[in-house]
Structure 1
Amino acid sequence: MSEVFASVGDPLPDAHHRRAALASLDLAVARFAVYYVPPAGACWWNEGSRWLGRDAITGRQLNAPHVPGLSRALADLTVDARRYGLHGTLKAPMRLAPGVKPDDLYTIARQVAARHTPFDLPLTIDVVDTDNGKRPGFVALRPKTNVAGVPGVISAAGAAAAKQIDALAFDCVEAFDGLRALPTEAELARRLAQPLTTRQRELLARWGYPYVFDEFRFHVTLTDRVGAADATAMTDWWRPRVQALGPMRVDGLALFVQPTPEVPFVIAERFTFGQNPTASAADQAGGAA
């Protein structure tokens, strides 16, 4: 495994050296994902990374904020979320199929990014329940489609942005699917042990992930599964900040890599929308610094 991605907390190299380092990964165990992330240095990126206690671009550990009313320290309630880094899933983590190389991911990522244009996504803070109440939910940012202060009234701008993020995710699911290795029996068993619906099981069998297309609900994960009291404390902390930060700018997609199961995901490169899909990495504006 490349040592470039191995040291948790150490600064990561620039995008050019990260791409070169991917060639030395053990592709039998490395996982890749396509996520939405705010641009490096953007207020949303800084606030979200500080909350999780880790910057997935620089690799640095950060001091998480104090949140009144929690049953435990915030860091104890974001263990899994911190491992993945601040993100919204577009194509869920996957291993590469035999014969597929990381360069193939870069090619598809550029092609997908070239097909989309930037937009602003209004957000709200919410508790996400993916299991119909069978397990505690987790706190996440979700698209805001209603008019502020007017329940039940749909915002045209918010609804349009929600459709755009859905279209981006659907494009990623299909475009990258030919590069995906089939899940192992253990991976399938782990998924099937969850309380999935019949439709979600069908999607899992076809796409390797149960929450795609009609089952997809875009969200930016902020916590692990937490109890009701902790969820309330967290949403109370986030609500004024969501309002102050405003819409999240969606202007690109990011390729994440997890070299081995015991280390966290980091950004290999970020691809801005509207770029020439044949451009070199050096020509790609917005790549991971």
Structure 2
Amino acid sequence: MRYSICFTPPSGDPLSLAAASWLGRNVYSGLAAEHPGLRGLSVHEIAFHTALPRRVGFHATLKAPFRLSEGSSEQALLRELMHFAGTMEPVVLSGLSIGRIGDVYGLVLDRPCPSVDYLAASVVQAFDAYRAPLSEAEIERRNPDRLSAPQFSNLHRWGHPYVMDEFRFHMTLTGPLLARDFPRIEDALRSHFSPVLAEPVVINNLALFVEQGAGAPFVVHSLHPLGRVASRRIA
């Protein structure tokens, strides 16, 4: 079993519902969802291009998937996550929009957001004691020869190359695409997601995701609201 600490909107949020439809799976229930009918892109094409992100579900990774370290337990992890979330404040993601990272599309920020970078770095550090060391096979799957020096250092120190200064907030929506498909996919994504991105997205919780077994789909185990209870009531 593996765990990861992520951001994903609440189950009834319009963005969650739009993402479940696009990806074809609800990350809360684990149930299949019907793909949208979009101009210029068939539901079969959507299903094909979303096969990889469908398994992991709609989320932004803060602490990459990890096995529990020796002596750790799910109960202790949950207690720590609840306490930690109460010490952090919600983050407003201004400028979240459809964008491309290499050959993959997702939701990305069009401007720096120090608050989300700080939150991500804090999560990585606070929960590293719960992470079992990577196996040699897990390290090799990260293609260490292709990593920069900081990324290689992060992989060995924190279990993932794209953390700390290498972190970039993103919520993946496709698998790798051919360049010839970029325009159609981007148009379809903008058509589908623009209505639910009209207002800023707020990170107001941390989500614990669980992968029950190797290759199993990730599902949301629990949500942990950010901020002190009194602050949340005022907000």
Would you call these one fold, judging by a TM-score over 0.5? yes
- What are the superposed Cα offsets for residues 58-116 of structure 1, whole Å, 9 maximum, x if unpaired? 11100112344459621111111010000000000000111110012112211221122
Q: Aligned residue for 1:257?
A: 210
Q: Aligned residue for 1:225?
A: 176
* DSSP-derived class of the 1:103 partner: helix
Q: Aligned residue for 1:117?
A: 89
Query: Counterparts of 1:184 and 1:114 in 2: how far apart (Å)?
Result: 33
Q: Which runs of 5+ in 1 are unaligned?
A: 1-29, 130-136, 146-158, 277-284
Q: Aligned residue for 2:110?
A: 144
The aligned runs of 1:73-88 (5 Å cut-off) are 73-88=45-60
Q: Aligned residue for 2:68?
A: 96
* DSSP-derived class of the 2:157 partner: helix
| Residues 80 and 240 of structure 1: CA distance in aligned 2, closer, same or farther (over 3 Å) | closer
8 Å CA contact 1:67, 1:74 repeated in 2:
no
User: AA paired with 1:76?
Assistant: F
Query: Counterparts of 2:41 and 2:205 in 1: how far apart (Å)?
Result: 34
Query: Counterparts of 2:145 and 2:212 in 1: how far apart (Å)?
Result: 26
Richer in helix (by share): 2
Q: Which moved more, 1:261-270 or 1:186-195?
A: 186-195
Larger radius of gyration: 1
Q: Aligned residue for 1:216?
A: 167
Q: Aligned residue for 1:174?
A: 125
Q: Aligned residue for 1:26?
A: none
8 Å CA contact 2:41, 2:188 repeated in 1:
no
Does structure 1 residue 63 correspond to structure 2 residue 34? yes
| Residues 251 and 45 of structure 1: CA distance in aligned 2, closer, same or farther (over 3 Å) | same
User: AA paired with 2:56?
Assistant: Y
| Residues 196 and 52 of structure 1: CA distance in aligned 2, closer, same or farther (over 3 Å) | same
| Structure 1 position 163, deviation (Å) | 1.4
User: AA paired with 2:225?
Assistant: T
The aligned runs of 1:1-289 (5 Å cut-off) are 30-70=1-41, 73-122=45-94, 123-129=96-102, 137-145=103-111, 159=112, 162-192=113-143, 195-245=146-196, 246=198, 247-275=200-228
Count the aligned residue pairs. 227
8 Å CA contact 1:110, 1:275 repeated in 2:
no
| Residues 228 and 67 of structure 1: CA distance in aligned 2, closer, same or farther (over 3 Å) | farther
* DSSP-derived class of the 2:31 partner: coil
Normalising by structure 2, what TM-score?
A: 0.90
* DSSP-derived class of the 1:76 partner: helix
Structure 1 vs Structure 2 CA RMSD: 2.0
8 Å CA contact 1:68, 1:233 repeated in 2:
no
8 Å CA contact 2:18, 2:193 repeated in 1:
no
- What are the superposed Cα offsets for residues 232-283 of structure 1, whole Å, 9 maximum, x if unpaired? 222212224544222212101100000101310011100011246xxxxxxx
Normalising by structure 1, what TM-score?
A: 0.74
8 Å CA contact 2:144, 2:152 repeated in 1:
no
| Structure 1 position 193, deviation (Å) | 5.2
Query: Counterparts of 1:185 and 1:263 in 2: how far apart (Å)?
Result: 21
Any runs of at least 4 consecutive aligned residues in structure 1 with deviations exceeding 6 A, and if so which?
A: none
Query: Counterparts of 2:29 and 2:207 in 1: how far apart (Å)?
Result: 14
